[in-house]
Amino acid sequence: MQDIQKELFSLMKAEKKLNLSLQLYHFAKRLKKEALKKKYLNLDEEGIGKKGRDIFLYART
Protein backbone atom coordinates (compact mmCIF):
# COMPACT_ATOMS: atom_id res chain seq x y z
CA MET A 1 0.00 0.00 0.00
CA GLN A 2 1.30 3.44 -0.91
CA ASP A 3 1.90 6.10 1.74
CA ILE A 4 -0.85 8.28 0.31
CA GLN A 5 -3.32 5.37 0.54
CA LYS A 6 -2.36 4.73 4.15
CA GLU A 7 -2.87 8.38 4.96
CA LEU A 8 -6.27 8.49 3.28
CA PHE A 9 -7.45 5.37 5.10
CA SER A 10 -6.26 6.70 8.44
CA LEU A 11 -8.28 9.88 7.91
CA MET A 12 -11.45 7.99 6.93
CA LYS A 13 -14.24 7.47 9.41
CA ALA A 14 -14.98 3.90 10.44
CA GLU A 15 -18.40 4.05 8.76
CA LYS A 16 -16.80 4.94 5.41
CA LYS A 17 -14.25 2.12 5.75
CA LEU A 18 -17.03 -0.36 6.51
CA ASN A 19 -19.08 0.86 3.56
CA LEU A 20 -16.11 0.48 1.20
CA SER A 21 -15.35 -3.02 2.47
CA LEU A 22 -18.98 -4.08 1.96
CA GLN A 23 -18.96 -2.68 -1.57
CA LEU A 24 -15.79 -4.63 -2.33
CA TYR A 25 -17.27 -7.82 -0.84
CA HIS A 26 -20.45 -7.58 -2.94
CA PHE A 27 -18.47 -6.77 -6.07
CA ALA A 28 -16.25 -9.82 -5.50
CA LYS A 29 -19.34 -12.03 -5.09
CA ARG A 30 -20.87 -10.74 -8.34
CA LEU A 31 -17.58 -11.19 -10.17
CA LYS A 32 -17.18 -14.76 -8.88
CA LYS A 33 -20.78 -15.58 -9.85
CA GLU A 34 -20.15 -14.44 -13.43
CA ALA A 35 -16.91 -16.46 -13.60
CA LEU A 36 -18.72 -19.55 -12.32
CA LYS A 37 -21.45 -19.11 -14.95
CA LYS A 38 -18.79 -19.24 -17.67
CA LYS A 39 -16.99 -22.21 -16.13
CA TYR A 40 -20.05 -24.33 -15.29
CA LEU A 41 -22.40 -23.87 -18.23
CA ASN A 42 -24.62 -26.78 -17.16
CA LEU A 43 -25.46 -25.35 -13.70
CA ASP A 44 -28.65 -23.42 -13.08
CA GLU A 45 -28.84 -20.21 -11.03
CA GLU A 46 -29.30 -22.14 -7.78
CA GLY A 47 -26.26 -24.33 -8.45
CA ILE A 48 -24.13 -21.30 -9.27
CA GLY A 49 -25.29 -19.62 -6.05
CA LYS A 50 -24.40 -22.70 -3.97
CA LYS A 51 -20.94 -22.97 -5.53
CA GLY A 52 -20.33 -19.26 -4.93
CA ARG A 53 -21.44 -19.50 -1.29
CA ASP A 54 -19.17 -22.51 -0.73
CA ILE A 55 -16.20 -20.70 -2.25
CA PHE A 56 -16.67 -17.66 -0.02
CA LEU A 57 -17.46 -19.75 3.04
CA TYR A 58 -14.33 -21.89 2.80
CA ALA A 59 -11.95 -19.29 1.30
CA ARG A 60 -8.51 -18.96 2.83
CA THR A 61 -5.92 -16.25 2.54
Spatial distance between the Cα atoms of 46 and 13, rounded to a whole number of angstroms: 37
Report the pLDDT value the prediction gives residue 30, as an integer from 0 to 100: 94
pTM: 0.74
The share of the chain scoring above pLDDT 90, in percent, equals 84
Q: What is the pLDDT at residue 61?
A: 67
Domain spans of the chain, in order of start: 25-61
Looking at residue 2, its pLDDT comes to 87
What SS3 class is residue 45?
Answer: helix
